[in-house]
């Protein structure tokens, strides 16, 4: 059986280091694990309960929910914007949290990793993403983490896939996440 992990990237920038990190995760996925980097977060409107009506919810939000429903786990890649979680990632969590108590994150393993320019690699934003995902019903894996500092300089001329320290740590994260997801789905 193949484990399917949905990756949501909290940066919309085409050259995003978090996007590059997610693409590297796809390449490093352990045997029996498929990681899908979700396309389309930019099209998901800001959450508004008035438009979240069964049968007429925005198509982009419905696609996000369906992709999450099909996944065995969710892996969030979060940069840090002004000391906190990017709006696009928070918005995705908001859509996935509804209807409250039975949204598509409910009971689903969630891990949060990322890279940011600061010296701590975006830990504040990643902590906020863990908090929001947990409140939304996800089973947050607090011990599956990776925060890569100094992204702007570290990845100025090196892709994350070509950084041995990053690929080693990312491989460890993916192995840990995969083991936890396998245990979760077997339970």
Query: Which pLDDT value is given to residue 130?
Result: 98
Residue ranges of the chain with pLDDT lower than 70? none
All domains in the chain, ordered by first residue: 3-186 (3.40.50.360)
Query: Which pLDDT value is given to residue 182?
Result: 87
Assess contact for 35 and 7: CB atoms under 8 A: yes
Query: Which pLDDT value is given to residue 166?
Result: 97
Residue 151's contacts (CB-CB under 8 Å, 6 or more residues apart) are: 17, 79, 115, 116, 117, 121
Query: What is the distance between the alpha carbons of residues 72 and 79, in angstroms, rounded to a whole number?
Result: 23
CA 79, chain centre distance (Å)? 11
| Cβ count within 10 A of residue 148 | 23
Assess contact for 75 and 8: CB atoms under 8 A: yes
Query: Which pLDDT value is given to residue 186?
Result: 79
- Say which DSSP state 151 is in: H
Query: Which pLDDT value is given to residue 184?
Result: 80
Query: Which pLDDT value is given to residue 100?
Result: 86
| Beta strand 33-37 pairing with 139-148 | unpaired
> What three-state secondary structure class fits 45?
coil
Give bridge partners of residue 140 from the DSSP assignment.
110
Query: What is the distance between the alpha carbons of residues 170 and 4, in angstroms, rounded to a whole number?
Result: 17
Query: Which pLDDT value is given to residue 185?
Result: 79
Query: Which pLDDT value is given to residue 126?
Result: 98
Distances (CA, A) of 45 to 90, 143, 164: 12, 32, 38
Phi, psi of 49 (to 5 degrees): -60, -25
Q: pLDDT for 56-70, tens place per residue?
A: 999 999 999 999 999
Distances (CA, A) of 37 to 90, 165, 182: 17, 22, 20
């Amino acid at each position: 059986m193949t484990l399917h992990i949905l990756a949501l990237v909290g940066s919309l920038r085409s050259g995003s280091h978090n996007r590059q990190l997610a693409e590297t995760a796809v390449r490093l996925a352990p045997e029996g694990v498929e990681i899908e980097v979700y396309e389309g977060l930019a099209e998901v409107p800001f959450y508004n309960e008035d438009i979240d009506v069964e049968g007429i919810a925005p198509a982009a939000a419905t696609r996000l929910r369906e992709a999450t429903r099909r996944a065995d786990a969710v892996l969030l890649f979060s940069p840090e914007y002004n000391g906190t979680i990017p709006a696009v990632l928070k918005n995705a969590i908001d859509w996935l949290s509804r209807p409250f108590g039975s949204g598509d994150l409910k009971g689903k393993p969630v891990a949060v990793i990322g890279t940011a320019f600061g010296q701590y690699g975006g830990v504040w934003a990643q902590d906020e993403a863990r908090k929001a995902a947990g409140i939304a019903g996800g089973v947050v894996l607090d011990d599956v983490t990776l925060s890569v500092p100094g992204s702007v300089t570290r990845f100025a001329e090196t892709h994350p896939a070509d950084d041995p320290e990053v690929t080693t740590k990312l491989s460890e994260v993916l192995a840990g996440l995969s083991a936890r997801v396998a245990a979760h789905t077997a339970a």
